[in-house]
Amino acid sequence: MFIENIHITGFKSILELSWQPNAHINLIIGKNGTGKTNFLDAIYYMCLTKSFLGSTDLQNIHYDYDFFRIEGKFKNEQSKTKIEASFSHSTKKIFKINKEEYAKLSEHIGKLPVVLIAPDDTDLIRGGSELRRRFFDGIICQSDAEYLQNTLLYNHFLKQRNHLLKQLSGQSNINFDLLDLYDDKLIAIGYKIAEKRKSFLSDFIPFLEKHHAEIATELDCIELGYETQNLDLDFMLKFKNARTKDLQFLRTTLGTHTDDYDIVLNEKSTKKYASQGQKKTIVIALKLAQYDFLEKTLNRKPILLLDDIFDKLDDIRIQKLIRIISTSEMGQVFLTDARKERSIAILQNIPYQLLDMDNYHNL
């Protein structure tokens, strides 16, 4: 799938923009603050129904507007797909595919796979476990609708259980029936989630190893593991035993929402020991592995969004990455850069379409 045409109105800093990108490489240039990242975010929004910057729909509306609208025409060898996403102060969010509105937004996930590489991505390694869970869950959800439904259900029951723990605190005559019900739901759904995460990793790791070996300059050896208690034989007992603690802390202390992924380089924790460059390399390898995994499981090429990557990488890594994205196996790519001359020099001899955000009103 690639975008043939995109029309944006009132999305963040973008007042009105209409553009026909190339099916392969696209370069978005413009000074700082001209809306390059917002443009990528609008594409991401059409693919995953939300902003990658975590902004709410209200925040996505341009300050001077009372609505935003993003329209995209997507194409592959067999078919064309039109996406219309809009939100206004007075109406709810409307998300349509080929003029038909979705009953549930989650039905859209996986139809238009997308992979984003952004400047803050090393947080994936440096930050807390939630960021890693969100990253890997994002990949699995794009490729498996049942997993997506299970995570939505799990989060629903987790919220209910935490709410109940707060209600029960300080009460002397506690009726545990509802708590028992939530326990059973979380244990059962959590088991399915943990099983899927585990089987996903065995498919994902070969892609990660391949891309890491491609980009790393040293003979670094990468390993990725999944840490969970949910698959332990005595997990149900552990969960029940944690109840006293849960009632004390007023939250559910065990479950898949506390799982983590262990990224290890040369037998050492990357979070603690890897250099900046090694972290960046791992992040890019993770994202390219995400691309390959989604392509293989969905049988269609994701759209690749590369935000400001030239700033963060050394020349050798840039060259390697450009070589990878410019092969004919790669689908549509959108790159942003604030420095026009540099990106034009990097992309010399490669055909691409240019969007100049300094002058987009004239397009």
Ligand X SMILES: Nc1ncnc2c1ncn2[C@@H]1O[C@H](COP(=O)(O)OP(=O)(O)OP(=O)(O)O)[C@@H](O)[C@H]1O
Reduce the secondary structure of 76-103 to three states and give it as a string. Answer: CCCCEEEEEEEEECCCCCEEEECCEECC
Q: How far apart are CA 1 and CA 4, in angstroms?
A: 9
Residue 138 interacting with ligand X (CB under 6 A): no
Among 26, 34, 37, 230, binds Mg ion (CB under 5 A): 37
Rounded to whole angstroms, the Cα distance separating 49 from 112 reads 10
38 binds Mg ion (CB under 5 A): no
CB of 50 to ligand X, least distance (A): 15
Each residue 35-64 as x (binds ligand X by CB under 6 A) or -, in order, gives xxxx--------------------x-xxx-
Cα→Cα distances 209→220, 261, 286, Å: 10, 16, 9
Q: Identify the CA nearest to 75 among candidates 332, 335, 296.
A: 332
33 binding ligand X? (CB under 6 A): yes
Binding marks (x or -) toward ligand X, 231..260, rule CB under 6 A? Answer: ------------------------------
Q: Which does 290 bind (CB under 5 to 8 A by kind): ligand X, Mg ion, none?
A: none
Tell me how far apart the alpha carbons of residues 243 and 115 are, in angstroms, rounded to a whole number.
39
Is the separation of the CB atoms in 183 and 176 below 8 Å?
Answer: no
Q: Is 206 in the site for ligand X (CB under 6 A)?
A: no
Stretch that binds ligand X, among 26-34, 85-93, 132-140, 316-324 (CB under 6 A): 26-34
Helix axis angle for 177-215 and 129-143, nearest 10°, is: 90
> Which is nearer to ligand X, 300 or 342 (by Cβ)?
342
Q: Which is nearer to Mg ion, 36 or 257 (CB)?
A: 36
Q: Which residues bind ligand X (CB under 6 A)?
A: 12-13, 30, 32-38, 59, 61-63, 308, 338, 357
